[in-house]
Amino acid sequence: SLVWLPKTQEIEKGETTFLNQQAKTIKYTRITPLYSQTWKYVFVILNNNFYSIYLSSETKDFDKNLIVFDQILSTFKFLE
């Protein structure tokens, strides 16, 4: 559900793979007179557990930080 997002947000929905599982992504940006911030959430269900991992960054640095975020996510390993 995206009801928690203010109606004025830009929203981009997508899909990815995380820990060899299909995952949903949501990216949105909030722009105010003082700042612009972008978030990207990754949602995945593993073994009947729901996980949410996200990156939050100033919009001007988001793409650079997203590369690091994606590198970190690629190193995750699920241990039971």
Residues 6+ apart with CB under 8 A from 52: 41, 42, 43
User: How is residue 17 written in tokens?
Assistant: 């793979």
Task: Report pLDDT digits (tens) over 5-17.
Answer: 666 666 788 998 8
CA distance 28 to 46: 24
Position 40 scores a pLDDT of 92
- At residue 47, the pLDDT reads 84
Q: What is the DSSP letter of 71?
A: H
CA angle 22, 63, 20 (to 5 degrees): 15
Query: Does 1 score more than 60 pLDDT?
Result: no
Q: What is the pLDDT of residues 28-75, one digit of tens each?
A: 888 888 888 999 999 998 888 888 999 999 999 999 999 999 999 888
pTM beyond 0.75, yes or no = yes
pLDDT of residue 31: 84
